[in-house]
Amino acid sequence: MVVIKTENNKRRVRKVANGLMKIPGCGCLLAVVAIPVVFFTCWLWAREEENERRQTIEDARKFKEDEARYKFPPPVSQRERALSIEVRREEKASGTVVRRRMRHQTGTGFFRLPWELREQIYKDYFESDDEILVFLRDRRMLTAWVIRHEDGGGKWKPERRADMLNFLITCRKIYTEGISLLYSFPKLTFIDPVSFLAFSHHILPTRLSSIRNVRLEFLGVPGRQVLEAINGDMDGYRALDGYRLDLKVTYRDLHESHTQHFYNNPSYKEASLKTSNDDGMSEMFSLRRKHTEQTFWTATSRVLSKMESLRNLDILIRKNTFNTDRKITRPLEQARFRNLKHFQLHVASRPIPRRPGWHDDHDWQIEEWKQVVNEDGRFFGWDNDPETVRRAERWRDDRERLHQLQEDLGSKTESGHHIS
């Protein structure tokens, strides 16, 4: 029995020894198999990082190349044949201007008049106290002559008169001579931001910069007087109330409002590509998102700043559209109007309705906000902001103390000189 147990123990020792002898071989085998896998995995990670880096560089390069095309608003497409005869920019730079002349058309009595008389006739024709209501409807940019009541309560009625465009399209010479006055003399009124943005995208930058008089009435759905003036219906304009001024504006918003009819350039279709985020909301893809991070109100203010000849600006907007008053005034402060002489900002707040249905015009409570500007023309803010008023008052007090100190020093100097 003792011999058998001894043999069994020897066998167990040999098995353990053989197992221990096999361990280095297993480790080497595992190392041979694992090392290539580890190196291959590291190579894949490095390759993926390199591809991402190259893709980022390529995206940045494309973004810089396409940055000019995707500005807001998109550039106006070039017509195959210019409606008016103008000197080209490259000709001005080189000094070799190719003169394009039209016939004098002396067979017409109107063109036999001197240019000074024709210019005065154009001004008398385009200059009017009435307003031109510009609005977008059914993929068409339409206009209507409207006049206001004497009380200035925002009520309208249509005005029957000849269309200005009919006169301009009589011949190319009349169009060339009078097109600039079409934008500079009349007062253009817009009742929703979509129509205003579509109009600004539709005309040439030179025409946009020549506009002098603008009135914006962004109260949501227009009143019945406006609809009667433009022969519209309330149902067709209910969607305008959804374009809140504080919402982000994208090319999709303009696409849904049929403004793509006015672009007529290929960059618009490329810019209207969309992706969906986690919330299911449609947005511009990331490379173009930089140019769409603005609200309807910010976009409107930027378009207004491009009107270099703007003289008179009247704005009427809803106060409850914005979370804070600062969101109303800040875009206007950043616009930097250069030649503005008359500016009015009216903010309307609507009380709680006591009856169902649409509100009447007299339900609006309108307050006027005025800019606070010192003697040097420095802009402090708005009179509805108490801190702005206090800051302006402190500036005036400091200014008065400085003047008083200068007067005291001057009087002492004069008295000392007189004594000596």
Which residue from 240, 231, 251 is spatially nearest to 142, judged by alpha carbons? 231
Q: Count CB atoms within 10 A of the CB of residue 358.
A: 12
Query: Could you give the C-alpha distances from 210 to 167, 311, 403, in angstroms and in order?
Result: 20, 10, 42
**Separation CA 60–CA 283 (nearest Å):** 19
**Separation CA 72–CA 250 (nearest Å):** 9
Say whether both 324 and 347 belong to one domain: yes
Give 303-355 pLDDT, tens digit per residue. Answer: 888 888 888 888 888 877 777 777 888 888 777 777 778 888 888 776 555 44
Where residue 261 falls among pLDDT bands split at 50, 70, 90? very low
What's the mean pLDDT in 237-243? 49
Q: Between helices 172-184 and 115-126, what is the axis angle to 10°?
A: 50
Most confident of 35-44, 57-66, 303-312, 343-352: 303-312
Residue 255 included in any domain = yes
Say whether both 23 and 126 belong to one domain: no
Residue 96, Cβ density class (10 Å: 0-12 exposed, 13-18 middle, ≥19 buried): exposed
Q: Which of 52-56, 65-69, 161-165 shows the lowest per-residue confidence on average (mean pLDDT)?
A: 65-69
What's the mean pLDDT in 80-100? 52
**Beta strand pairing call for 156-158 and 140-148:** antiparallel
What's the mean pLDDT in 400-419? 67
What's the mean pLDDT in 142-162? 56
Tally of structural domains, the chain: 3
Q: Range of 151's domain?
A: 114-369
**241, two tokens:** 């109330």
Instruction: Cis check for the bond before 266: say yes or no (omega within 30 of 0).
Output: no
Say whether both 16 and 56 belong to one domain: yes
Residue 419 included in any domain = no
Residue 54 included in any domain = yes
**What pLDDT does residue 406 have?**
76
Which residue from 136, 155, 149 is spatially nearest to 197, judged by alpha carbons? 136
Say whether both 270 and 347 belong to one domain: yes
DSSP code, position 295:
B
Say whether both 194 and 329 belong to one domain: yes
342 within 8 A of 309, measured Cβ to Cβ: no
Query: Could you give the C-alpha distances from 139 to 163, 221, 255, in angstroms and in order?
Result: 20, 18, 10
Structure-token match 């510009």, residue found: 134
**HSE-CB of 113 using CA atoms within 13 angstroms:** 11
Which residue from 319, 139, 312, 294 is spatially nearest to 218, judged by alpha carbons? 319
Say whether both 143 and 47 belong to one domain: no
Say whether both 361 and 324 belong to one domain: yes
Residue 105 included in any domain = no
Say whether both 123 and 238 belong to one domain: yes
Percentage of residues in the chain with pLDDT exceeding 70?
44
Give 163-202 pLDDT, tens digit per residue. Answer: 667 788 888 888 888 888 888 888 888 888 878 887 887 7
Query: Could you give the C-alpha distances from 31 to 10, 26, 36, 43, 406, in angstroms and in order?
Result: 32, 8, 9, 18, 90
Residue 62 included in any domain = yes
Residue 92 included in any domain = no
Radius of gyration of the chain (CA): 36
Residue 109 included in any domain = no
Length of the chain: 420
Say whether both 344 and 384 belong to one domain: no
Give 113-140 pLDDT, tens digit per residue. Answer: 888 898 888 888 877 767 777 877 665 6
Say whether both 215 and 363 belong to one domain: yes
Say whether both 283 and 353 belong to one domain: yes
Question: Sheet harboring 213-218: ordered strands across?
Answer: 156-158, 140-148, 131-137, 187-190, 213-218, 312-318, 342-349, 365-369
Where residue 259 falls among pLDDT bands split at 50, 70, 90? very low
Say whether both 387 and 291 belong to one domain: no
Residue 354 included in any domain = yes
**What pLDDT does residue 264 have?**
37
Check whether 289 has a pLDDT greater than 80: no
